[in-house]
Amino acid sequence: MLPHTYVEVTDGNFAIEVQEKSKTVPVVVDFWAPWCGPCRVLGPIIEKVAEENHGKVVLAKLNTDENPKVAALFRIQGIPAVKAFKDGKVIAEFTGAYPEPQVRAFFEKVVGAPAIRVTQDADDHLRAGNVDAAEAGYRAILAKQPSQPDALVGLAAILAGKGETAAAEDLLDRAPTDRRAKILKHRIFLNGFAEKHAGEDLESAAEANPRNPRDRYRWGVMLAAREQYEDALDELVESVRIDRTFADGAARKAMLAIFDILGLDSEVTKDYQRRLSGALF
């Protein structure tokens, strides 16, 4: 997030910064407190989505510990609590650490239409194969909005494709809550592993040494690099069963990366989560 992309409101300025301002632009208020764990989860998400809707909505944040009058006025009983104001009145609200898709849907409801994708022109250049123009477009966006997730991921993908993996990973580190960024980081690792071990017969090594956690792990990662995820998970879970502590839990971490790629709702993920749990416990 850029500095000051949200306004901190208090008991003293709430009427002006929220209720009055909402007569010209919708204002979304995040009621939070420093000790609240779910608030720390929701905070980066709601800030990112608000930034994507820059100009169409204002994000305000109110610390309920320091501003009990407003919290009491709006009957805040659980936090994080989020309320959207328009024309001085609450028009939508939710309580709890909603995941990003639901937060995005909430903002779309408040704004009245889906947010305009700020990377549209750069995305169009990329689809047309004009990589240089796409890269320039993403860089221009990031010069103004350094945390814009679509531009971060788009530029990182271009740099990764050019072999500039360190620069790509630096960009992805700036979007830690974005699933696309996590997946791209996993793909960068897998592609690098495949290139490094391209001349080795990892399959034969795993077959010759079925009780060696290193050989099973290495062949599993190679299979993942080839997007043969179920076969990869078979090898990796066996590595965990043989020695869960091998290389600081490398096989377990590799399985978690594949779960990220496949998605937590995937039936394959659910199946191998159970198998991993059985291997660990």
Active-site residue list: 36, 39
Amino acid at 54: H
Q: What angle do CA 163, 221, 235 make, to 5 degrees?
A: 170
Sheet holding 89-95, edge to edge: 7-8, 58-63, 27-32, 81-86, 89-95
Q: Is 63 helix (H, G, I), strand (E, B) or coil?
A: strand
Cα–Cα distance, 280 to 265 (Å, whole number): 21
Structure tokens at 115: 């947010």
Which residue is associated with the tokens 């998400």? 45
Half-sphere exposure of 80 (CA within 13 A, CB side): 25
